[in-house]
Amino acid sequence: MTDHGFGIPIEPAPWDRDLSPLPMVKQSVKAIATDIFNRISTGEYPFGTRLPAERDLAETFRESRATIRQALEFLETYGAVARRAGSGTFVSYRSDNVRRSSAEAAGYLNVSSIAETISPFEMNVAESILEPEIVRLASIYMSVRDLTKLGQQLARLEAIVTDAAEFAEVEKQFMMTICEGTHNSLIVAMYRIMHEVRRQPQWCANKNRTLTPVRIREAQRALRSLYNALERRDVDTAVECMRLYIASTHEDMIYASS
């Protein structure tokens, strides 16, 4: 595809690759959203930066502020931007090339070797550092689609009564979705390493031993509270929910490994 004046190929917009029904938007709204996305994908609007104010975009595109607002809402639906009340609209999209590079970098590590050498205490230290920050960023940057996917995974978790292995697997998917909702490729790559370590047989065995029906119900309540806080964009509550969840799972892992 042609570039946008920066020598960088324009990536297909997320909605062009989406086979599900598109939100109902006017063609003018979609055209503006596509133009803004092209500027994001080519680096004119880099990741993490604030977009021009709605009134400035309205002047640039010679459209009403209402049309601009609809275009930004459409972009937010696909995770390209994150809108913060009182602060503005920020770029939350990274190119596929950046995501691929981060994933490939994580693949060079020997996950099995890491899993064999770290202790539950070391894992808890890593979780305590990384996961609250992941949740903080996700509270800000998760798109509507990210939250929809997370809600679907929560529904699967809440339907499980006694199957510890299934609960542990879906819980990992739930946490990875939160991480991906940060739209920070480096954090996703780092968390994927931890995610793969926890998939190793010795870690799965310990985790499954802790997941009695009672503990599954407690975890379901904790993850529901976390989801509700993320949905409300309540950063402080979401981070506190995550810290409490880490503390409870740490106690379980220490007991299971002793």
What confidence score (pLDDT) does residue 10 get? 62
What confidence score (pLDDT) does residue 1 get? 46
> Are 14-91 and 96-257 the same fold in CATH?
no
In the chain the first and final C-alpha atoms are separated, in Å, by 58
Within the chain, residue ranges assigned H as helices are: 27-41, 54-61, 65-77, 96-107, 111-117, 120-141, 144-159, 164-180, 185-199, 201-210, 213-232, 235-257
Reading the block at residue 91, the tokens are 């770029």
What confidence score (pLDDT) does residue 9 get? 52
Distance (Å, rounded) from C-alpha 226 to C-alpha 238? 5
Domain positions in the chain: 14-91, 96-257
Reading the block at residue 64, the tokens are 């009403």
Q: What pLDDT, in 10s, does the model give residues 216-252?
A: 999 999 999 999 999 999 999 999 999 999 988 776 6
Q: What pLDDT, in 10s, does the model give residues 17-43?
A: 766 666 677 888 999 999 999 888 887
- Assess whether pLDDT exceeds 90 at residue 66: yes
Contacts of 56 (CB under 8 A, 6+ apart): none
pTM value? 0.61
Reading the block at residue 236, the tokens are 């402080």
14-91 is classed CATH 1.10.10.10: yes
Distance (Å, rounded) from C-alpha 39 to C-alpha 257? 51
Cβ of 257: how many Cβ atoms within 10 Å? 15
Name which residue leads in pLDDT, 134 or 26.
134
Q: How confident is the model at residue 138 (pLDDT cuts 50, 70, 90)?
A: very high
Q: Which CATH class is domain 96-257?
A: mainly alpha
> Which one, of 30, 128, 121, lies nearest residue 75 by Cα?
30
What confidence score (pLDDT) does residue 165 get? 86
